[in-house]
Amino acid sequence: MNNDLISVNNLSVEFDYQENFLAKKQKIHAVQNINIKIKKGSFFGLVGESGSGKTTLGRAILGANKISSGNVIFHDDNKDFDLTKISKQELKEYRKKAQLIFQDPYAALSPRMTVRDIIAEPLEVMKITKSKEETDERVREIASKCRLNLEHLRRFPHAFSGGQRQRISIARALVSSPKFIVADESVAALDVSIQADILNLLKSLRKELNLTYLFISHDLSVVAHVCDVVAVMYLGHIVEIASSKELFKNPKHSYTKALLSSIPSIDPEKQSKAIELTGEIPSAMNPPSGCVFRTRCPNPTHDCKEGNIEMGLIEVTPNHWVDQCCVNCK
């Protein structure tokens, strides 16, 4: 039996870019050569700085971005969806199974619709329920699962706080009974006290509804707490994958190390000794040749500096994969 829900094979996503209408057409390599497998029922974390391609990868897996090469396969119970060859009809079916929770709960909800209508909309668009009664019943069921007060269903979003709004967007994503959820920075806009609440909700819903998550975030401490497996992205490439405990205890890639050392400590006496990366993330239009990290690597080998080393993940300990170039850099 196949335990993977999603397998991504050699996936690349490129965008066309033209500075002005006279300029030469260029390609932006947003995501390059990604191989990941997401196990059923797992909480798969994706971290990296802005511009590293996290969101593009998430959208490509949902079929919301064109795939330039490689493929994404969604293994349903008795059917595989290959997103590169999917037909329109199949894509509609796929949308019921894979859903997205957005970052900003203030922008994601229409101010002119009641909470009930917001949550019911996917059911009506996807024609999942037959009658209004059935829709209402389903909305009430999912709203109570997301710990929304049922009396609030008739209100408009402006009456709710950030945490409650995020619960509404979660309810909307879950109403079509999906199996796979992409949570794109879903707690980034929330205060810490509410953030913990939403994370606990996502965790409990996973068990209750057999969900699999792709959890995209730039906050490592949050990822460490909820995710089973974490992939670190840099400039369109995955540079390290490991279970979250292993990654935090034993980071191998110098980028992961720098990220971890940058998390500020709550103890004022433990002044942080952040490994400072010099410079900024290079432009995706003109990425460095060979190892993409070499322009910021604190300790590149001679070959790496010259851009002679190809990227590619190797397994250093069981289930801990690191980019081969940077295994040897300190």
- From the CB of 276, what's the least distance to other proteins, in Å? 6
- From the CB of 278, what's the least distance to other proteins, in Å? 9
| Binding status of residue 277 toward other proteins by CB under 8 A | yes
Q: Cα 288 to chain center, whole Å? A: 25
Amino acid sitting at position 69? S
Convert 264-291 to b/e letters by CB count within 10 Å (16 or more is b): eeeeeeeeeeeeebeeebbebeebeebb
- From the CB of 218, what's the least distance to other proteins, in Å? 6
| Sole binder of other proteins in the list 193, 207, 302, 318 (CB under 8 A) | 193
| Binding status of residue 197 toward other proteins by CB under 8 A | yes
Kind and range of the H or E run holding 226: helix 220-226
Interaction pattern, residues 228-247, with other proteins; x per rule: CB under 8 A: ----------------xx--
Nearer of residues 41 and 162 to other proteins, judged by Cβ: 162
The strand pairing partners of 232, in sequence order, are 47, 240
Rounded (10°) angle between helices 132-145 and 192-209: 120
Q: Give the single-character DSSP code of 69.
A: E
Amino acid sitting at position 12? S
- From the CB of 232, what's the least distance to other proteins, in Å? 12
186 is written with which tokens?
A: 């879903």
| Binding status of residue 199 toward other proteins by CB under 8 A | yes
| Binding status of residue 266 toward other proteins by CB under 8 A | yes
| Binding status of residue 194 toward other proteins by CB under 8 A | yes
Residues in the chain: 330
| Sole binder of other proteins in the list 87, 192, 207, 318 (CB under 8 A) | 192
| Binding status of residue 217 toward other proteins by CB under 8 A | no
Q: DSSP 3-state assignment of 178?
A: coil
Contact 6, 40 (CB under 8 A): no
Backbone φ and ψ of 270, nearest 5°:
-90, 80
Nearer of residues 25 and 158 to other proteins, judged by Cβ: 158
Stretch that binds other proteins, among 12-20, 53-61, 78-86, 272-280 (CB under 8 A): 272-280
| Sole binder of other proteins in the list 18, 144, 262, 317 (CB under 8 A) | 262
Strands (E), 275-319: 313-317
Stretch that binds other proteins, among 23-31, 71-79, 189-197, 308-316 (CB under 8 A): 189-197
Strand pairing class (237-243; 43-47): unpaired
Using CB under 8 A as the binding criterion, the count of chain residues that bind other proteins stands at 44
| Binding status of residue 276 toward other proteins by CB under 8 A | yes
Contact 256, 239 (CB under 8 A): yes
User: Which residues here bind other proteins, judged by CB under 8 A?
Assistant: 49-50, 161-164, 191-197, 199-200, 218-222, 224-225, 244-245, 248, 258-269, 271-272, 274, 276-277, 280-281
